[in-house]
Structure 1
Amino acid sequence: MDWDRLRIFHAVADAGSLTHAGDVLHLSQSAVSRQIRSLEDELNATLFHRHARGLILTEQGELLFDATRHMAKRLDAAAARIRDSEEEVFGELRVTTTIGFGSLWLAPRLPALYEKYPNLKIDLMLEERVLDLPMREADVAIRMKEPSQADLIRKRLMNIRMRLYASPQYLEQNGVPQTLDDLRDHRLISQNATAAQVSSGALLVRQLMSYEIGSFLTVNNYFGVLQGVIHHLGIGVLPDYLTQDFPNLVRVLDTVESNDVPVFLAYPEELRQSKRIEAFREFVTEEIIAHRRKERDGNV
């Protein structure tokens, strides 16, 4: 099968248009159309349904597009390994983690990484869905549980716990609860227990909801929960790593907390020699060590 035709087919399937694919490939629409017809003749199959608004893949076209997608990802991985044979750290690094950890802990620390490696480009993908690292949906992940996918290198970074926090202003206006039963006089801000989040956090929320709570505000990520807390809306269920960057948070009901939530860094085995991965791993490790040191000094 002709590699160049496959490349053109992949571009057309991705763009859904001969014209847009031609723009990407720097080919005329007629040249792209000829190559697609030649590929269909070679396979004796129709790959696209053609209509006025563009192109739709046929069942046979979907099968071929799935194959070319996998090929493209493997080629990207090979190109990354070739580029990373150089000593210089540069190029794109796709990092995935949760919305809360990425926006509240990782992103504020990235200036130090860019200062050290100005030619590095971070593509930060924040979502609760676990991206497939072996299939190169991302290069490296920070996850709130040990990854289960095979062929991954993993490093345990730290443990966190979910606890209850409020702003001084909220507590001044509404009082400080002394027991869980006192939550009947307060608003609880948390992720919904059924939302995608760390299991220990969901368990803590379910336990709290078994008590009579005065009012609720649920948000689908910890960044939103924090915004509610710092704007004096109520008592929030938040990860304990926030206390260093938000020192005005006041912990409420000191005995109430989740079990340990492990934080792991993971990346594909095939990127073991990647200079970008190495630089990012060392950066995160150094930041974790600094975080722990500040935490320890603050408890002395």
Structure 2
Amino acid sequence: MQKLNWDDFKVAHTVAKAGSLAKAATILKCNHTTVLRHINRLEDALNVNLFIRHQRGYQLTDAGQIMSETLEDLNTQFIALEDTLQSIQQDFSGKIRITTVTSYSPLLVPAMQQFRKQYPKVRIELLATDEVIPPQSGNIHVSLRAGPEPKEPDLIAKHVISLKMSYFASKEYMSEYGLPQSEGEFNRFHWLMPDSSKHHIPFINQVIKHLKNDSIVYTSNQFSDIQSAVISGMGIGPLSENDAIKYPNLVRLDGCPLLCTENVGALWYTYHKDLKQNAKIRALYEYLVEHTQHLSMV
């Protein structure tokens, strides 16, 4: 058997995830021929076909599937090793990988800007997604999570800010349609609500169960979209207190208890306990608290 080359495995793993040589070459910043050479060399050394070539791209064989799954686990272990070694060094360089939901990512910018001014050798990688990526996975360092305090084993959770939301409408909408004073009047109005992925939130659920389908004129999986629609005067919808205060044309609905302000939890700065001595992670938390202590958002 020929001597195996670790670079060949890394290239093969990239092709497996990308699905084609061209996409893999773009990710690896090399040309198509170089990627193909790595694949051919690895398959020759193993005497195993890892890919089925066809016009639509590269499809994994059974052997290729095993390779890809194993390399994914190895990649996670290498990331964890990198984190551990950097934690021991305790200097302010390298990178911090953070994930949070899309609605919260703008909140982080002022804190990150000041953090980078103080520690210019640190690179921040932010992943804004509605998918929960736990720090235990090893793929990220910090997860900013909203709701009740996370209780997973081996996870450290620190409070950043309390979260509050209310229902709002624009002054223009109120002038034309008025505002509901009880749940019995809800279906006389136009509602802008999150889609079913957010119906588990009590403050959303307690209202939406009183609404008929034709009263809900707009839905989105993002609170930022709901906010824009409310500001435009399309109807009534839930907004964070922090966001709503920026727009003087918005009116908070206080006439019905179901629509009044509610504390819906908090924003939590979470990371794996193995990183509790990491100087960068501790420092970034202090910057976040300092720059968000006056805020209250959903």
Instruction: Verify same fold: TM over 0.5.
Output: yes
What do the CA deviations read for 1:206-231 (whole angstroms, capped 9, x no partner)?
24427x98553222211001101111
Tell whether the 8 Å contact from 1:190 to 1:205 is kept in structure 2 after alignment.
Answer: no
Aligned mates of 1:87, 1:31 — CA distance in 2: 40
Tell whether the 8 Å contact from 1:96 to 1:131 is kept in structure 2 after alignment.
Answer: yes
Cα 1:20/1:159, change in 2 over 3 Å: closer
Counterpart residue identity of residue 130, structure 1: V
Aligned mates of 1:90, 1:245 — CA distance in 2: 36
Structure 1: state its 5+ residue gaps.
Answer: 293-300
Aligned mates of 2:206, 2:104 — CA distance in 1: 18
Tell whether the 8 Å contact from 2:11 to 2:39 is kept in structure 1 after alignment.
Answer: no
Counterpart residue identity of residue 140, structure 1: V
SS in structure 2 opposite 1:137? Answer: coil
Cα 1:87/1:2, change in 2 over 3 Å: same
Q: Superposed, which structure 2 residues align to 1:1-300 within 5 Å?
A: 2=4, 4=6, 5-17=8-20, 24=28, 28=34, 31-41=37-47, 45-86=48-89, 88-103=91-106, 105-107=107-109, 110-145=112-147, 146-147=149-150, 149-192=152-195, 194-196=196-198, 199-209=201-211, 214=215, 216-246=217-247, 248-253=249-254, 255=257, 256-257=259-260, 258=262, 260-291=264-295
- Between the two proteins, the alignment pairs up a number of residues equal to 286
252-261 or 272-281, which deviates more: 252-261
SS in structure 2 opposite 1:262? Answer: strand
Percent of matched pairs sharing the same residue: 23
136-145 or 113-122, which deviates more: 113-122
Q: Which residue in the other structure is 1:298 paired with? A: none
Counterpart residue identity of residue 97, structure 1: T
Aligned mates of 1:20, 1:106 — CA distance in 2: 32
Cα 1:175/1:207, change in 2 over 3 Å: same
Aligned mates of 1:280, 1:127 — CA distance in 2: 20
Instruction: Give the superposition deviation at 1:200.
Output: 2.0
Instruction: Give the superposition deviation at 1:57.
Output: 1.1
Structure 2: state its 5+ residue gaps.
Answer: none
Aligned mates of 2:250, 2:118 — CA distance in 1: 31
Counterpart residue identity of residue 168, structure 1: K
SS in structure 2 opposite 1:56? Answer: strand
Instruction: Give the superposition deviation at 1:58.
Output: 1.0
Aligned mates of 1:29, 1:95 — CA distance in 2: 30
Instruction: Give the superposition deviation at 1:110.
Output: 4.4
What do the CA deviations read for 1:201-253 (whole angstroms, capped 9, x no partner)?
4323424427x985532222110011011112122112333244445532112
Aligned mates of 1:119, 1:190 — CA distance in 2: 42
